[in-house]
A and B are shown apart, each in its own frame.
Chain A
């Protein structure tokens, strides 16, 4: 029996045992398989929150996602909605094509920092500038996780990666790119927020931003951009707990949480 089959067997889906009350379950829009992300990685939490929102808003048949290159390329293994896998950096271009063909559907991209803020910068900026009515979910963990932990455009100064063994140096590597701030300047963008999933309270806040983004997409108000400052225990070479501590101490100093842009007249912030 493979590890995955064992895990499947040990799952406790279905009605709760007598005397137990079911208080928390897998959303119907999340595929019932064990996830293969590294222990402690934020991806699986963001996946879950996103799919909770799709299920609760009853948008499974209306939602199309785009997974790029990077760890998030496997998103379609888990998200039970129609998905396209895009070339590295081109997720928002593909999403543009989808949304323009199917303007009544809800379209999101799910991109990492290398994909969105390095190789795909042009597509990101121009999709935002066109005001495409899509949701960009931007996972910022400051590293290339899939390829083994190299410097990302968002790697903070001093952070060690396999290509910045002495730590990221301003003179040699330049500044980390705060692309959410750039995106917020563009008039085609209606909503920009930066969240995290390192604490339960933050997970709940993230969920609200996803709900709001789907609502804005329904109203065709413009592009929504939700950055999630996340961790990469494997790439950062830390335990999950250490990575969350480091995230709070260092990443959030460079990428403070909160709304960067909200719709005019919006009082929910």
Chain B
């Protein structure tokens, strides 16, 4: 039985990354993720890894680029403004197909914003963030335990797909303390061979070139097609989500990360009030669980069972970003409401519940025709 520790989210993630065999960490101070940088400074060299406090987030992510290209299992972490600075190189990393882990402990924006927790970086994280057509694989932890668990998972997914993986947390998950355990994990069993890495051209192979430059458009299109093939594979194999009391739910909450924690309480409050409320929590934000959500909300056409969900309420700490993916999933066949707080404000379960009650009382979803219908086009 592994020891149970009480740790901050930032530190739990850092510890897990080291246990996952992190060879190099490159970072720059920014609140509310600095504990991750500090923990790495203290512990990673002791574990035999490389830690550099870079002169900027630009330098940090480019050190990640070089180190990942050299075959290392490497990472960086930052918070929203710092992650914005990294976007150019993340595009390069995605294009050159370098595996690495990037942690965004999301704070309130836009601009310098606030150091309080927020989810305003959802679009940036899930749509690529930088220039060109690419995706990060985006994991959204909702507990200190998951902050740790996703470090292992993130490194493994990065290696598996040769793709940058982002852990999109928020200031609260980074700062709060919870109990956490660290599983048995042997990095040597998980690290994949990297014959493409620039480790020095030996006589038995051609030179390895890490690049995102392909001047000929025919070649660049082929690179793009290869990337898109990979993203389709990721979308079919790596979608993760969690359902809470969805079996009989006719009202569905959709939330990720910290707001999913809050919505668990909302489910309790609503159940006490006699409402059949459930929660779907996307764990991967890219790939987004479109099909799982559609199946839940719209039913399974093949079995003839109509969906029973009459209202979806998406809750986020932003102006409404993931809600666009929720609407895409149900294609207008279920009313989708949104409740959000911004600027570092955290919604309370009670205010979300009150908002939900107002939505139900407004008649939009209560009474009349059931809003949910089976969707023929959606394959289970």
Whether B330 is near chain A, meaning CB under 8 Å from some CB there, is no
| A60-B201, A62-B200, A101-B72 known; A123-B50 Cβ under 8 A | no
Say yes or no: A84 contacts B198, CB within 8 Å: yes
Tell me, rounded to whole Å, the shortest Cβ–Cβ distance linking A31 to chain B: 8
Whether A126 is near chain B, meaning CB under 8 Å from some CB there, is yes
Across the two chains, which residue of chain A brings its CB closest to B202? A61
| A87-B92, A100-B52, A101-B67 known; A82-B59 Cβ under 8 A | no
Whether A83 is near chain B, meaning CB under 8 Å from some CB there, is yes
| A97-B24, A100-B24 known; A105-B199 Cβ under 8 A | yes
Whether B63 is near chain A, meaning CB under 8 Å from some CB there, is yes
Whether A102 is near chain B, meaning CB under 8 Å from some CB there, is yes
Say yes or no: B70 contacts A122, CB within 8 Å: no
Whether A86 is near chain B, meaning CB under 8 Å from some CB there, is yes
Say yes or no: B88 contacts A96, CB within 8 Å: no
Instruction: Select one of A61, A63, A81, A98 contacting B70, CB under 8 A.
Output: A98
Say yes or no: A81 contacts B207, CB within 8 Å: yes
Say yes or no: B66 contacts A82, CB within 8 Å: no
Whether A247 is near chain B, meaning CB under 8 Å from some CB there, is no
Instruction: Select one of A82, A123, A125, A130 contacting B199, CB under 8 A.
Output: A82
Say yes or no: A97 contacts B198, CB within 8 Å: no
Interface residues of chain B: helix, strand, loop or mixed (majority): mixed
Report how many residues on chain A are interfacial, defined by Cβ distance under 8 Å: 32
Across the two chains, which residue of chain B brings its CB closest to A85? B211
Whether A156 is near chain B, meaning CB under 8 Å from some CB there, is no
| A101-B71, A122-B59 known; A85-B66 Cβ under 8 A | no
Interface residues of chain A: helix, strand, loop or mixed (majority): helix
Which residues from 69 to 101 on chain A have a C-beta closer than 8 Å to any C-beta of chain B?
73, 76, 80-87, 90, 93-98, 100-101
Tell me, rounded to whole Å, the shortest Cβ–Cβ distance linking A141 to chain B: 21
Whether A66 is near chain B, meaning CB under 8 Å from some CB there, is yes
Say yes or no: A93 contacts B211, CB within 8 Å: no
Say yes or no: B213 contacts A85, CB within 8 Å: yes
Tell me, rounded to whole Å, the shortest Cβ–Cβ distance linking B368 to chain A: 56
Whether B104 is near chain A, meaning CB under 8 Å from some CB there, is no
Across the two chains, which residue of chain B brings its CB closest to A29? B201
Say yes or no: A86 contacts B62, CB within 8 Å: yes
Say yes or no: A83 contacts B207, CB within 8 Å: yes
Say yes or no: A64 contacts B55, CB within 8 Å: no
Say yes or no: B200 contacts A123, CB within 8 Å: no
Instruction: Select one of A80, A87, A100, A126 contacting B50, CB under 8 A.
Output: A100
B-side residues, CB < 8 A to A, are 23-24, 26, 50, 52, 54-56, 58-60, 62-72, 74, 88-89, 92, 96, 198-203, 207-213
A-B contact pairs, 13 of them (CB 8 A): A80-B207, A82-B208, A83-B207, A83-B211, A86-B92, A93-B54, A94-B62, A97-B65, A97-B67, A97-B74, A98-B66, A98-B70, A102-B71
